[in-house]
Chains A and B, each alone.
Chain A
């Protein structure tokens, strides 16, 4: 490569942004390589959850992070003060930061933390409401710092002493994508030299699950949880709740390159829009979502023809999948690149999903493989989007578009480019 990009310049004139570390604690694995392998197998990680069965909620299953050794990441003192949401994020971020091995002489005020969460501390507030609602004088002293929405991001900043911009984004299911995109912008335009960006949610609780179930947004396939998440499939009946955290270390490309860091690739483009239409339903014509996709592609200095594949939001709800397929068709003018949707395997991590999927999409783009969509047999949207059915598709390494769409009409899209 020659020209401005070779010198660390983005087409916008700003700095290019490198991904130099990835950490995940998700249902598909405790590291990004394990998650990648699980996604390639296209087998769902959903399973029955005892507390949901016992209370006979309408939905009995979810995708949970398999148990791992929290003590390897957290002191007992720290663990007492935080909830599972924060714990998952700290563990994922610890892996990402360790892998990136940021230089010790990096100025603390030039490193930021940018985290997305849809539900935040509500699950732990739910727990304290149930345990102490009738005796509020006895509530744990750490109730507020444990449950506040920015707890995870600020704990992360505290742990490493990162004193740059620390922001928590709440854009429902698009939160993780928003966080990665906003972090990249801050680096691109000179506010930060590096950031830990990511997303997290852990909301498999009776109240949160009960609330989503009341909207009939979730699959109720209790007898076959492993077949429940089936993005773009004719037989889908809703999304499957998941939990988990994903963190990416983003860094000024030129600095990463100068220190010889391992570079996974680049956060090349980002855009976000709002349908401004309905508080939960996407606009069925997909026009604003398509504008978001085009915006992210243009932000990267590319055209739709440059996109090698799409990591769809693909929740396995009829409304999302149909609107997203229409948006893809609009954006790509009927020439859809291969489309995958990893929620068939991982479930929907809410705020965690966008960051996980950005990381997975980058690996898939670099390795030239588009995973098949789990449980997808026949799609009514096949004429609009080239959904990958059955076996993985091989493609030349190329830019990838990663979509996230959330309640509230939130649309956020990233373009990621593998290291050449």
Chain B
């Protein structure tokens, strides 16, 4: 099971790839909606990348329900813990 730090890097990398930003620009406090105006397709693309990277099915609610990047990492951590 990846550590939270490893998970955070995977998530921030997926986000930065889709939004065309640098990984360093994506923080735990970043709100994809407020800071980037992310749309549903971009969210789905991030989800698809995370599913591939983590070999994990990700619920749509985990993507749409996260208030911030840190919150999304927390939700994913719970999922990966539940999987092991």
Answer whether A and B are interacting partners: yes
On A, residues with C-beta under 8 Å from B are: 75-81, 138, 140-142, 145
Smallest CB–CB gap between B75 and chain A, Å?
20
Residue from the list A75, A80, A145 in contact with B18, Cβ < 8 A: A80
Measured CA separation A145–B40 after assembly (Å): 13
Decide if A76 touches B20 in the complex (CB within 8 Å). yes
Using an 8 Å CB-CB cutoff, how does the interface string of B24-66 with A read, 1 for contact, 0 for none? 0000000000000000010011001000100000000000000
**Can you offer 17 A-B residue contacts whose CB atoms are under 8 A?**
A76-B20, A76-B21, A77-B18, A78-B20, A80-B17, A80-B18, A80-B20, A138-B48, A138-B52, A140-B48, A141-B41, A141-B44, A141-B45, A141-B48, A142-B41, A142-B45, A145-B41
User: What is the interface residue range for chain B against chain A?
Assistant: 10 to 19
Measured CA separation A138–B50 after assembly (Å): 12
Q: A74's closest neighbor in chain B, by CB?
A: B20
Task: Say whether B10 faces chain A, with CB atoms less than 8 Å apart.
Answer: no
Task: Say whether B23 faces chain A, with CB atoms less than 8 Å apart.
Answer: no
Measured CA separation A79–B18 after assembly (Å): 10
Q: A76's closest neighbor in chain B, by CB?
A: B20
Task: Say whether B19 faces chain A, with CB atoms less than 8 Å apart.
Answer: yes
Measured CA separation A260–B31 after assembly (Å): 45
Decide if A79 touches B41 in the complex (CB within 8 Å). no
Overall SS of chain A's interface: helix
Decide if A75 touches B45 in the complex (CB within 8 Å). no
Task: Specify which chain B residues have a CB less than 8 angstroms from the CB of A77 in the assembled complex.
Answer: 18-21
Task: Specify which chain B residues have a CB less than 8 angstroms from the CB of A141 in the assembled complex.
Answer: 41, 44-45, 48
Decide if A79 touches B20 in the complex (CB within 8 Å). yes
Closest 5 CB pairs of A and B: A76-B20, A77-B20, A141-B45, A141-B44, A77-B19
Measured CA separation A75–B37 after assembly (Å): 14
Task: Specify which chain B residues have a CB less than 8 angstroms from the CB of A76 in the assembled complex.
Answer: 20-21
Decide if A140 touches B45 in the complex (CB within 8 Å). yes
Smallest CB–CB gap between A382 and chain B, Å?
54
Residue of B18, B20, B45, B52 with most partner-chain A CB within 10 A: B20
Given A77-B19, A79-B20, 11 extra CB contacts under 8 A: A75-B20, A76-B21, A77-B20, A78-B20, A80-B17, A80-B20, A138-B48, A138-B52, A140-B48, A142-B41, A145-B41
Task: Specify which chain A residues have a CB less than 8 angstroms from the CB of B18 in the assembled complex.
Answer: 77, 80
Task: Specify which chain B residues have a CB less than 8 angstroms from the CB of A79 in the assembled complex.
Answer: 20
Task: Specify which chain B residues have a CB less than 8 angstroms from the CB of A80 in the assembled complex.
Answer: 17-18, 20
Q: A144's closest neighbor in chain B, by CB?
A: B41
Smallest CB–CB gap between A402 and chain B, Å?
39
Measured CA separation A15–B26 after assembly (Å): 52
Smallest CB–CB gap between A170 and chain B, Å?
24
Using an 8 Å CB-CB cutoff, how does the interface string of B8-22 with A read, 1 for contact, 0 for none? 000000000111110
Task: Specify which chain B residues have a CB less than 8 angstroms from the CB of A75 in the assembled complex.
Answer: 20
Task: Specify which chain A residues have a CB less than 8 angstroms from the CB of B45 in the assembled complex.
Answer: 140-142
Measured CA separation A75–B18 after assembly (Å): 12
Task: Specify which chain B residues have a CB less than 8 angstroms from the CB of A78 in the assembled complex.
Answer: 20
Smallest CB–CB gap between B45 and chain A, Å?
4
Measured CA separation A7–B19 after assembly (Å): 49
Task: Specify which chain B residues have a CB less than 8 angstroms from the CB of A142 in the assembled complex.
Answer: 41, 45
Task: Specify which chain A residues have a CB less than 8 angstroms from the CB of B41 in the assembled complex.
Answer: 81, 141-142, 145
Q: A77's closest neighbor in chain B, by CB?
A: B20
Measured CA separation A140–B44 after assembly (Å): 9
Smallest CB–CB gap between A138 and chain B, Å?
7
Using an 8 Å CB-CB cutoff, how does the interface string of B64-80 with A read, 1 for contact, 0 for none? 00000000000000000
Task: Specify which chain A residues have a CB less than 8 angstroms from the CB of B17 in the assembled complex.
Answer: 80
Smallest CB–CB gap between A89 and chain B, Å?
20
